[in-house]
Copies of this chain bind each other. A is one copy, B any other.
Amino acid sequence: MQKQETLTKNQKIILDLIEKSDQPLKAYSILFDVKKKGINAPLQVYRALNKLVKIGKIHKIESRNAFIACKNSKCQIAKATVFSICESCEDVTEIHDHTLSEHLRDFKDNKGMKYNKYNLEFFGLCKKCI
């Protein structure tokens, strides 16, 4: 069993908000939404986001500067993420594909680099937007 992290007040407020959304949220839109809960400054948001990313509760969609909740209970550490992104409607989905994950996990380059993490983003058009 993995140790269950105890979240602080700010971290909980922000995680709640992100978990309620099925799409990625941007830091300043989060800030706007949590102002009524007493979180007033960007840094308070970024600090919580960084922590939540670190413990794997959320992931950052790098190409969009946005944050999405991790739906995969096994994903306790944010070390291996795959997303699909629709370039038309911007819908983002986390992908869990065993075969793909294995290939990525097992990948070795020829430079002797030691990987501990990867992030993969697929871009295209979703069913609705094709």
Chain A interface residues toward B at CB < 8 A:
62-63, 84, 86, 93, 95, 97, 99-100, 103-104, 107, 109, 111-127, 130
Distance of A112 Cα from B125 Cα, bound (Å): 9
Q: Is the CB of A122 within 8 A of B111?
A: no
Q: Is the CB of A127 within 8 A of B113?
A: yes
When all copies of this chain in the complex are counted, the total is 2
Other A-B contacts than A111-B126, A116-B124, 18 sampled, CB-CB below 8 A, are A62-B63, A84-B109, A86-B113, A93-B111, A100-B107, A103-B103, A109-B122, A111-B127, A112-B126, A113-B124, A113-B126, A113-B127, A114-B124, A114-B125, A117-B122, A118-B120, A119-B120, A119-B121
Q: How far is the CB of A126 from the nearest CB of chain B, in Å?
A: 5
Distance of A116 Cα from B127 Cα, bound (Å): 14
With contacts A97-B107, A100-B103 taken as known, whether A112 is within 8 angstroms of B124 at the C-beta atoms is no
A and B contact pairs by CB, cutoff 8 A, 18 listed: A63-B119, A84-B109, A84-B111, A86-B113, A93-B111, A97-B109, A99-B103, A100-B103, A113-B124, A114-B124, A114-B125, A114-B130, A116-B123, A116-B125, A117-B124, A118-B121, A118-B122, A120-B121
